[in-house]
Amino acid sequence: MDKKGFTPLDREHLTGFTLVELMIAMVISLIVLAGIYNVFISSSRSYFIQESITDMQQNARASIEFMARELRNAVVIEETDTTSGNSSITFYTDGDNADVGVSTGGNTNTTLNDTTKSWTTNKWQNKILAIVDGTGKGQTRTISSNTSTQLTTTSNWTTVPDSTSVYHIGVEKKGFSRTSDNNVLRYTKGGSVNQPFTENITSLTLTADDLNINNIKRIDIELTARTSRTDPNMNNQYHYYTVNTSIKLRLRG
């Protein structure tokens, strides 16, 4: 025991870490921290990629379901386009408080008669009139005025309707489109033309069962979406997801 009362064993226990021991401890700590950081980064990256895949799938399914619901109620198909990578369809569905009937004939170039009706004068002014079946099928015109039994249109009929012509009043113009210069699915409703609906849609294919738009009864839709970000685990490539459905137009048999 020395003058301070420490034995040799006590002195050994009181000796601090050497510089080498401290450096070794620091290196080990850095290795452990680096491992934890890499695991965290990998987990975070996987989470965000999986979240992007989930969003892509949900957007694709929601988009095609909405398209199917709208197209299923179409009473007139106005136009379809699948040329040069472009895809679009324009159609009409019944709006709120729509009226339907069959013309009783005696029509002129700008009128349609239905003597079974008793409309309020000018009730249908500025509404859209569509011939959905019979003579003149597929035509749409804006109504300028109406009496209790007669509708007057703002422009001439291409084919004057007759007593076989089934009509709907108060239809609404709608449409879907995607052009080859972007990946945005757009929706048209009334005055809102080509509003962005869903992003990251890389292709849209519309296939009708008949080349004559007035005879279309079924439309097949195929839609492909991609993730909003690339996947580092796939050489920074996008994930893609394709959905398809077949729609039977309700009012066309």
Is there a domain that residue 27 lies in?
Answer: no
Amino acid identity of 23?
M
Residue 8 within any structural domain of the chain: no
Q: Smallest Cα–Cα separation from 95: which of 67, 76, 115?
A: 76
State the Cα–Cα distance between residues 184 and 187, nearest whole angstrom: 10
Going by their DSSP bridges, the two strands 240-248 and 218-226 should be labelled as antiparallel
Is 31 within the bounds of a domain? no
Res 2: pLDDT: 45
End-to-end CA distance of the chain: 110
Q: How far apart are CA 71 and CA 248, in angstroms?
A: 9
What is the tally of structural domains in the chain? 1
Domain that holds residue 163: 48-252
Q: Please report the pLDDT score of residue 165 as a whole number.
A: 97
Residue 206 is assigned to a structural domain of this protein: yes
**One-letter amino acid of 237:** Q
Please answer whether residues 245 and 68 qualify as being in contact, where contact means their C-beta atoms are separated by less than 8 angstroms: yes
- Write down the pLDDT at residue 153: 98
Q: Which amino acid is at 155?
A: S
Cβ–Cβ under 8 Å, residues 67 and 244: no
| Spatial separation of the C-alpha atoms in residues 77 and 251, rounded to whole Å | 12
> What length does the chain have?
253
What is the pLDDT, as a whole number, of residue 84? 58
Q: What is the pLDDT of residue 80?
A: 87
DSSP classification of residue 214: G
- The Cα 76–Cα 141 span in angstroms is 12
Asked if the structure places residue 12 within a domain, the reply is: no
- Cα–Cα distances in angstroms (integers) from residue 33 to residues 29, 39, 182, in the given order: 6, 10, 44
pLDDT at 33: 74
Is 238 among the domain residues? yes
What's the CA gap between 72 and 53, in Å, rounded?
A: 28
Q: Is residue 100 part of a domain?
A: yes
Q: Is residue 195 part of a domain?
A: yes
The pTM is what?
0.78
Tens-digit pLDDT string for the chain (253 aa):
545 554 555 545 555 667 777 777 787 877 877 777 676 666 666 667 888 999 999 999 999 999 999 999 999 999 888 765 778 999 999 988 899 999 999 999 999 999 999 999 999 999 999 999 999 999 999 999 999 999 999 999 999 999 999 999 999 999 999 987 889 999 998 767 788 999 999 999 999 999 898 899 999 999 999 998 898 888 889 999 999 999 998 765 4
